[in-house]
């Protein structure tokens, strides 16, 4: 059931991407996909950006990068009962994947999560400012 999943697409925001003409045929009607669920008054609501696409044909010159110059970042967040989850800050990104662009899907679906393949992976780590200032 998607409602019980760690990440669910519950909102989309259409946008336009300019600067590269002509745009690839597959890069149509791009949307930002969000998880915007609210659980209870005691918990902060989710406002998680899950996916966004962009164009960068110059990246095609890099080794092992193929396609039409359209890419997307897909973000993953820790599960509420998993390591790295901060109750007061549930919207902290765990990792993000750079992969070929895919058109958005329907609202209400479980977000795909970790891809089978990607051009890059970024792992995030966080530290409270007070811990940083005292040298932890």
Q: Contact, 36 vs 89, CB < 8 A?
A: no
Compute the mean pLDDT over every residue in the chain, rounded to the nearest whole number: 90
Q: How far apart are CA 74 and CA 112, in angstroms?
A: 9
Task: State pTM to two decimals.
Answer: 0.86
The confidence score (pLDDT) of residue 40 equals: 77
The confidence score (pLDDT) of residue 29 equals: 86
Residue 106 in tokens: 């329907």
Sheet of 11-14: strand order equals 11-14, 31-35, 48-55, 70-76, 95-100, 120-123
The confidence score (pLDDT) of residue 1 equals: 62
The confidence score (pLDDT) of residue 73 equals: 96
Q: Over range 60-73, report the average pLDDT.
A: 91
Q: Which residue has the higher pLDDT, 33 or 39?
A: 33
- Confidence check: pLDDT of 66 > 80: yes
């Amino acid at each position: 059931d998607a409602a019980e999943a760690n990440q669910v697409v519950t909102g989309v925001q259409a946008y336009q991407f300019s600067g590269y003409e002509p745009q690839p045929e597959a890069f149509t009607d791009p949307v930002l996909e969000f998880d915007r669920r609210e659980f209870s008054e005691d918990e902060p609501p989710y406002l998680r950006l899950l996916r966004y696409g962009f164009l960068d044909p110059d990246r095609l010159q890099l080794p092992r990068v193929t396609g039409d110059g359209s890419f997307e970042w897909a973000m993953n967040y820790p599960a509420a009962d998993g390591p790295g989850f901060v109750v007061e800050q549930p919207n902290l990104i765990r990792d993000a994947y750079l992969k070929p662009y895919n058109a958005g899907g329907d609202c209400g679906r479980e977000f795909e999560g970790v891809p089978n393949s990607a051009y890059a992976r970024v792992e995030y780590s966080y530290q409270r400012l007070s811990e940083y200032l005292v040298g932890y």
